[in-house]
Amino acid sequence: MSKKNILIIEDEKPIREMVRFSFFNSDFILDEAEDVNQAREKILAHPPDLILLDWMLPGMNGVDFAKELRSKNTLGIDSEAVKIPIIMLTAKSEEKDKIKGLNAGMDDYVVKPFSTKELIARIHAVLRRSSDAQLDTVKIGHLELNEESQRVTCSGKQVSLGPLEFKLLSYFMHHPERVYSRSQILDRVWGGDVYVEERTVDVHIRRLRKVLAEHKQANLVQTIRGSGYRFSAKE
């Protein structure tokens, strides 16, 4: 495992030092910012793998900064940076505040005072989760499909699909640039034991195309005369 870059945004120097000290001989390299202005510069220059974000900061607070990070392009950074996992460091342990924090796009939180052992365990867990989520995500052209959340987006906009259209699109996106016959598609998407007529495939392909057309992506699903269908981002 290569070393992960962690950015801590925390105005209290003793906490930054404690975390820095705990990172000696660990899998993490620590970068530090005292406030969100320093943090913005550091994120722009070198997006970290994970952010430790203090709630109470001078100027803009941590929750607002998390919202800023999660909303696209407010930093002028690419959309990858929008997905950097965030662990909130908070002295506020009230349930209401926790939820508020998580809604703002936090991946986890650690209540102060925390042990560095706990912090490191949380960092590992969040990094593991975010790399699993990336494995579950397939991107082709403007489309992005996530198996776990069953969500599809096109250039960041939500694409609403029925369950079968989702399965079809998922199969296609995992197997692009190949031609599949209707019976192969039935077998792989519907499952071999189900008796469905082959024209059912056409019905669902049509529905899928209709939704993709709303996002100007209908040409991704191509009809190959006499053979079947192909999913391709090429013309």
For residue 151, the 8-state DSSP code is: E
Check binding of 144 to Ca ion (CB under 5 A): no
Question: Between 62-70 and 95-103, two packed helices, what is the crossing angle to 10 degrees?
Answer: 30
54 binds Ca ion (CB under 5 A): yes
Considering only the stretches 6-14, 63-71, 157-165, 224-232, report the one whose residues sit in contact with Ca ion under the rule CB under 5 A: 6-14
**Residue 56 found at the interface with Ca ion (CB under 5 A):** yes
Q: State the nearest-atom distance from the C-beta of 136 to Ca ion, in Å.
A: 35
Comparing every residue's Cβ against Ca ion, the nearest one is 56
Burial class (CB in 10 A: 0-12, 13-18, 19+), 115: exposed
Among candidate residues 98, 19, 107, 101, the one with its CA nearest the CA of residue 65: 101
Burial of 22 (0-12, 13-18, 19+ CB in 10 A): middle
Of 36 and 212, which has the nearer Cβ to Ca ion?
Answer: 36
Query: Please, what is the minimum distance in Å from the beta carbon of residue 54 to Ca ion?
Result: 4
**Nearer Cβ to Ca ion, position 55 or 172?**
55
**Least separation, in Å, of the C-beta of 91 and Ca ion?**
8
Between 11 and 27, CB nearer to Ca ion: 11
* Token pair of 96 as six digits: 């209401």
Please state, in angstroms and as integers, the Cα–Cα distance from residue 212 to each residue in 1, 199, 207, 225, following that order.
39, 20, 9, 21
- Closest Cα to residue 177, out of 229, 219, 101? 229
Provide the minimum distance between the beta carbon of 90 and Ca ion in the complex, in angstroms, as a whole number: 9
Q: Least separation, in Å, of the C-beta of 233 and Ca ion?
A: 46
CA dist., res. 219 & res. 233, Å (int)? 8
Number of residues in contact with Ca ion under rule CB under 5 A: 3
DSSP state of 163: H
Which one of 5-13, 105-113, 137-145, 219-227 is the stretch in contact with Ca ion (CB under 5 A)?
A: 5-13
The CA distance from 172 to 210, in Å, is 16
Query: Nearest distance from residue 66's CB to Ca ion, in Å?
Result: 14
Contact segment (CB under 5 A) with Ca ion among 55-63, 146-154, 166-174, 220-228 equals 55-63
CB atoms < 10 A from the CB of 27, how many? Answer: 14
Residue 12 beta carbon to Ca ion: minimum distance, rounded to whole angstroms: 5
Nearer to Ca ion among residue 35 and residue 187 (C-beta): 35
Q: Say whether residue 11 binds Ca ion (CB under 5 A).
A: yes
Looking at beta carbons only, is 13 or 139 nearer to Ca ion? 13
Binding residues vs Ca ion (CB under 5 A): 11, 54, 56
